[in-house]
Amino acid sequence: MLYYYLEDDSIQIVENKQQNSGIPQGTFVKRHQVPKDEDDFYTLDDLHVGQPISIYGRVFHLIDCDPSTKTFLETKMGRPPVVALPYPNDRYEEDRKAFMSRETGCDQSIRHNIKKNPMKVFAEAKLGNTVDNSGREGFLKYERKVLRYNCVWDDRNSLYGDLQEFKLHYFLNDDTIEVLAVYSANCGRDQFPLLLKRARLPRNPQSQGATGTTTLDANEYYHWRDLYVGCEVNVYARKLVVVDADESTRRFYQENGLHLQEALDVERQEGQSYDRQIPPYNGFGSEEDSLASCVGSLVLKPPRKTWGEDRIMRFMSELVSDKPEDQGRSFVLQFFLVDNTIMVREPPKRNSGIIGGNFLARMKFKNQDGTQVTQDQLFVGAELQLSYHKFRLVEADEATYKYMENTPDMYPESDVMTVLRLCYPALVEPASTGALSKAFAEYDSGAGTVDKNSLIRVLQTFGLDISPQALVTIMRGFGQDGTCDYERFIQDLCG
């Protein structure tokens, strides 16, 4: 399409867009004055229908113009009437128009099997067009009733085949069938719900045409009378066996004079169960993160943490070792109640030849039996095996002692009354005869008190060997500054 603008003698050429042409069509020559030669431009006098025009090396043939242009040329320019030339035939365009005519339905002689919109059918019926109700007798008779069957497909004879379950729905209003897959838990299959989309199911699908268009009669499709418990349904090369039906389906068959037998017992193979083998912890990261990749979904989630009390228990400990260089080394063991982690630090000592600082990084530790170290295992005198190092707890700080005394259920030997009950069987007789008081008097420093070592000797004299934690409880309950008031101890023991 060539446009000539009289106001400035400019020309614009636009190429008509064609569908699927593969060419970026549209504006072919932008609007401007087109040069005819080196010194002149094209004007209206150079444009005549039936004559070619060369623009930038391309020759355009003018074959016609619109009615307004014809009127202007005849009346204003005094030219003779314009005679239009025939448009050259394009074989591709003719074939394309014929193809699109068939595809879009312009040719009414070609049937496309496309359902009309219900409103269009209603409008045509209202205008007097006869409506074909031959396909509606099923809806008028059965409304929306659906027959439901349980089916199985036994494919266990093939490689990697198994027994699969399906639901077959038969729609009585139009005799169509849909088949839904029933997936069990952890079956490993993709959750595709439909095996067969709702449609009429042919008994022998091989009788269809090569183009996919059906050539079957109505009696060559499955009917509800063909379905019963034990029958085999051919769903496009899949042999489904009907094994059961729901109560409403059985009631429908009884109303129509037919009987469905009882449900078939399908022999199912029990799947093999395997014990999950948890690999040992390799030391990288936390054990909770490692277990998350061994148990559960492949989509990993951070493990859920259970936070405890925001408190730190501190113990002075020593290394249990036969090596001479380990003798005399002391360590501070810290137990964090918030996450049950342990950190061990070694205080630096001058001229010891050992660099102090962090000895064991903060982490969770396990006992030799595989159980996790918990706070009830930490008390004075306890021995812990931490990363091939054995520690003995010798004392604790004041805050830890008070925490243990306030939680007697977890630390019974931190309770004074519990320790007295432990000492009562062995010391009640010498305490009543005065022998216990005389034994303590031999180690008395003159203030009615004895030190820790003297207390141990007296108790061993009467055959009582108590734990270091119980000994600390006696020293803290009946004395101060490292001494024990033995008279008050004997009084509370006998009282």
Q: Same structural domain for residues 440 and 378?
A: no
Domain boundary among 56, 77, 98: 77
| Residue 89 lies inside a defined structural domain of this protein | no
Per-residue pLDDT of the chain (495 residues; tens, 9 = 90+): 999 999 999 999 999 887 777 788 899 999 999 999 888 999 999 999 999 999 999 999 999 999 999 999 999 999 999 999 988 888 887 887 787 777 766 654 555 556 667 788 788 788 887 777 777 777 878 888 999 999 999 988 888 888 899 999 999 988 999 999 998 877 778 878 899 999 999 988 765 544 444 567 778 899 999 999 999 999 998 999 999 999 999 999 999 999 999 999 888 777 677 777 888 877 777 777 888 887 767 777 887 877 888 899 999 999 999 998 888 899 999 999 998 999 999 999 888 888 889 999 998 888 888 888 999 999 999 999 998 899 999 999 999 999 999 999 999 999 999 999 989 888 888 888 889 888 888 888 778 888 888 888 988 888 888 899 999 999 999 888 788 888 888 888 887
Q: How far apart are CA 138 and CA 136, in angstroms?
A: 5
Rounded to whole angstroms, how far apart are CA atoms 50 and 281? 92
User: Are 54 and 154 in the same domain?
Assistant: no
Secondary structure class of 92 (helix, strand, coil) = helix
Distance of alpha carbon 378 from alpha carbon 213, whole angstroms: 82
User: Is the residue at 436 inside a domain?
Assistant: yes
Is 126 within a domain? no
- Tell me, what CATH number does 388's domain have? 2.30.29.170
Domain boundary among 59, 77, 95: 77
Query: Does residue 85 form part of some domain?
Result: no
Whether residue 236 contacts residue 153, with contact meaning beta carbons closer than 8 Å, is answered with no
Does residue 83 belong to any structural domain of this protein? Answer: no
Q: What is the pTM of this model?
A: 0.47
153 plus 241 within the same structural domain: yes
Residue type, 327: Q
Whether 39 is covered by a domain: the verdict is yes
pLDDT at position 212 is 46
| 427 and 401 co-located in one domain | no
What CATH number is associated with residue 475? 1.10.238.10
pLDDT in the model for residue 210: 40
In a domain, 428, yes or no: yes
Give me the pLDDT at residue 303, please: 78
Are residues 390 and 445 located together in one domain of the fold?
no
Q: How many domains does the chain have?
A: 4
Q: What dihedral angle (degrees, nearest 10) is formed by the CA atoms of 240, 241, 243, 246?
A: 50
What residue spans of 204-361 are helical by DSSP H? 247-255, 287-292
Contact of 406 with 336, CB cutoff 8 Å: no
The residue range of the domain holding 334 is: 312-406
User: Nearest 5°: phi and psi at 440?
Assistant: -70, -35
C-beta of residue 396 within 8 angstroms of C-beta of residue 314: yes
In a domain, 477, yes or no: yes
In whole angstroms, give the CA distance from residue 422 to residue 417.
9
The residue among 491, 481, 326 whose CA lies nearest residue 392 is 326
